[in-house]
Structure 1
Amino acid sequence: MKESSATLRDLRPTQFAVGMIHVRRKMAETRAVCADSRYAFMEQRAIAVVRGPGGVLHVIDHHHWARAWIELGIERAPVQVKMDFRDLDDIDFLAAMMERGWVHPFNERGEKVDIGTLPPSIAQMPDDPYQSLAAFLRIARVFENPGEFNAKFAWADYLREHVSGDSGTIEGFAEMLATAFRFAHTPEARALPGYRPEAAR
């Protein structure tokens, strides 16, 4: 569907948390692009949204890019509208989103929460360090998103069970990431979505 732009702070999240270390990586990537090329850079990473009741835009992919750009003080960003649900009421809209797997009602501790408690804006999403760990495993090609399922959530939950430490310091996060790589190559991890067998070689 047609691409346009939207005010970042008006976008509604469909997941509870983001990995702020991963967000900071995306902030650094954006800063590295010269001002004249920045919008083209952002267009290549347009935020995937659906239009819900009242015309409100709900993010279904690229929450981390959206948060990175908010943290950088960017007001508007390119969006790509994947579906228009303006004609649905709130109940049918939620049902349509759940059916497509476009809502992840779990908080930063991996606990299931009521949909109504999702943060009202991208800027208010709390940090889940295990999403950052999962993101770096995906960047290292330990796993990939199969397409029909966002594998990062399953990997984050798996790491939550096996990895602990102080994610608030560089040294602490580095130790957690090293541990995450060890657990990413266990027989149990091979059953997770998107696992790449060649990554274990």
Structure 2
Amino acid sequence: MRAQQYLEQVQVSDLRPTQMTVGVAEVALKRQQWAQLKLKERSKLLLNHWFPAVKGPKGLFFIVDHHHLGLALVQEKVKSVWVMQQADFSMLEPDMFWRLMEFQHWAHPYDEKGRRRKYSDIPQALEQLKDDPYRSLAGEVRKAGGYAKESAPYTEFLWADFFRPLFKKTDLRSSGGQGLPESVVTEAIALARNPKAQSLPGWSGVSSSHHKSL
């Protein structure tokens, strides 16, 4: 059942994920940004970055966005954050809860290889999220303007699946061990603008039909 949205302070360690993976490179970047903030700036960030969440079984909050930030805050030993409750599904049995979450586009049960998994395979803690380097690549391409940010959830995962067969996993490792190779990001931006990707959300290239009309 839908509930009026309101803020509640929750222990970061109690937050439950609604997806199975993150881009570890993106988490590392958020940790670097956090480390550069002064105490007052950190407090301001936490006040302004609410975690949209659904109240689920056992009264736990299942976040539907900001998984990268959440994991970064866990690793930085932050104690609590503010959540914005989107709905109250706490009365539902777990299987029905997850079915309704996915129906509302609030859950993404796909693993680091892009494979569909059971709801029971979704991690119970942010620290258990696995690394999907293709998700990191999708995030870097979006930030570089390779495609536009969309309001629809999980669009970066669709782009990650688009890049998955185009790059080897070893191609995504930088020699320094942090971030993605610049050459790979540049190549991925070009691929994202290719007409072959025009069905994906946020595509911002030039279609083949447009070329023919010029």
Fold conserved between structures, TM > 0.5: yes
Report whether the alignment pairs 1:106 with 2:110: yes
Which one of 146, 171, 174 corresponds to residue 169 of structure 1? 174
Q: Deviations for 1:27-70, whole angstroms, at most 9, x for unmatched residues?
A: 11222221022121122222211101210111100000001111
Report whether the alignment pairs 1:183 with 2:191: yes
Q: What letter is aligned with 1:167?
A: L
| Shift in alpha-carbon separation, 1:83–1:170, aligned structure 2, 3 A | farther
Pairing 1:75-154 to 2, within 5 Å after superposition: 75-154=79-158
- Aligned mates of 1:195, 1:85 — CA distance in 2: 34
Task: Report the number of matched residues.
Answer: 198
Q: Which runs of 5+ in 2 are unaligned?
A: 207-214
List 4+ stretches of structure 1 deviating above 4 A: none
TM-score (structure 2 length as normaliser): 0.85
Please state whether the residue corresponding to 1:191 is helix, strand or coil: coil
Q: Is the contact made by 2:56 and 2:97 (CA closer than 8 Å) also made in structure 1?
A: yes
In structure 1, the partner of 2:49 is: 45
How much has 1:177 moved relative to structure 2? Answer: 1.9
Q: Is the contact made by 2:25 and 2:136 (CA closer than 8 Å) also made in structure 1?
A: yes
Q: Which runs of 5+ in 1 are unaligned?
A: none
| Shift in alpha-carbon separation, 1:84–1:16, aligned structure 2, 3 A | same
Overall identity of the aligned pairs, in %:
28
| CA radius of gyration, larger in | 2
How much has 1:15 moved relative to structure 2? Answer: 0.6
How much has 1:92 moved relative to structure 2? Answer: 2.6
In structure 1, the partner of 2:209 is: none
| Shift in alpha-carbon separation, 1:196–1:82, aligned structure 2, 3 A | same
In structure 1, the partner of 2:18 is: 14
Q: What letter is aligned with 1:133?
A: L
Cα RMSD of the aligned pairs, angstroms, is 1.8
